[in-house]
Copies of this chain bind each other. A is one copy, B any other.
Amino acid sequence: MTASPTHWILTLVCEDRPGIVHAISGAIVAAGGNITESQQFSSDGTGTFFMRLQVESDAPRETFEAALLPVTQQYTMTWQLDVVGRPLRTLVLVSTAAHCLNDLLFRQRAGQLPIELPLVLSNHGGLASLAEFYSVPFEGHPVTNAAEKTAFEARILRAVEEHDIELVVLARYMQILSPELCARLGGRIINIHHSFLPGFKGANPYKQAHQRGVKLIGATAHFVTSDLDEGPIIEQNVVRVDHSRSTRELVAIGQDEESRTLTQAVKWFAENRVLLDGDRTIIFK
């Protein structure tokens, strides 16, 4: 690559030790870069150091990588060098609910969400026209038995390869994914689900929330693990409700929280602001 972009994003994770910042900033100076944004965090729990830098430079990627190499090796860093604003290749999975997909598509087109959407996959056909309006290819495949599920998951993995997908978004995709698929896509698959205070187990949580008269309902965007709805949390929002809301209204209110929470999580991920620290996330806003 000989690209010569203006703004780079550098993220790195390693064991916390003295001198990391000095070593990294030295490499950046050596490559002619100027740090314009910098965030770091030392996790007491895991002893891990996290850093996200934005760097302005005229140097090509090779120069940067060459300058960084000795430091990343010395500190055994996991690192990523990306360009600010590069659209993240994102695969969206949906079922029948349109609110999350609509928000992602609208904001992507509005230039507020640095993603590109080569494909939407669904276990239904209902959202085809919405995807079409935004000129995004859409495939609907019925998933009503084990064979169809296996085929659909194979299609997902094939799509991930074909389009070099960096993020899979479950935008109200209502099928449970196999543990194997979750493991394959670990750290690059995000889900959204409703959240309540207190939490409700079992079927129809909005009905339970109505019966308990909760005053706040919300949504949580999180990484998918094989532990259903229990992966590392990326973002959460709540909104106030009162006793006069019917269960149906609670659902509509909850959907608003779902779309804005999911879109926010995708945006942060696409901007390399989400790093994993064991079971928790570091968000460099």
A114: interface (CB < 8 Å)? no
A202: interface (CB < 8 Å)? no
Given contacts A21-B25, A29-B18, are A281 and B243 in contact (CB under 8 A)?
yes
A187: interface (CB < 8 Å)? no
Binds B, one of A85-93, A149-157, A210-218: A210-218
Which residues of chain B come closer than 8 Å to A133, judged between CB atoms?
133
Please, what's the 1-or-0 string for A38-81, where 1 marks a CB less than 8 Å from any CB in chain B?
Answer: 11111011000000000000000000000000000000000000
Please, what's the 1-or-0 string for A236-276, where 1 marks a CB less than 8 Å from any CB in chain B?
Answer: 11100011101000001000100010000000000000000
Please, what's the 1-or-0 string for A82-117, where 1 marks a CB less than 8 Å from any CB in chain B?
Answer: 000000000000000011001000100010100000
Which residues of chain B come closer than 8 Å to A233, judged between CB atoms?
212-215
Tally A residues with Cβ within 8 Å of B: 66
Which residues of chain B come closer than 8 Å to A283, judged between CB atoms?
215, 242-243
Given contacts A41-B244, A280-B243, are A198 and B213 in contact (CB under 8 A)?
no
A interface secondary structure, majority: mixed
Query: Judging by beta carbons under 8 Å apart, are A238 and B197 in contact?
Result: yes
**Contact of A280 (CB < 8 Å), options: B20, B213, B235:** B213
Query: Judging by beta carbons under 8 Å apart, are B236 and A220 in contact?
Result: no
Query: Judging by beta carbons under 8 Å apart, are B40 and A37 in contact?
Result: yes
A195: interface (CB < 8 Å)? yes
Which residues of chain B come closer than 8 Å to A39, judged between CB atoms?
38-39
CA distance A277 to B243 in the complex (A): 10
A35: interface (CB < 8 Å)? yes
CA distance A235 to B197 in the complex (A): 11
A280 to chain B, nearest CB (A): 3
Query: Judging by beta carbons under 8 Å apart, are A41 and B211 in contact?
Result: no
8 additional A-B residue pairs with CB within 8 Å, beyond A45-B210, A45-B211? A22-B25, A22-B26, A25-B25, A26-B26, A133-B133, A214-B236, A216-B237, A243-B281
Q: Which 7 pairs between the two chains have the least Cβ-Cβ distance?
A: A213-B280, A22-B25, A18-B34, A21-B25, A215-B236, A133-B133, A199-B199
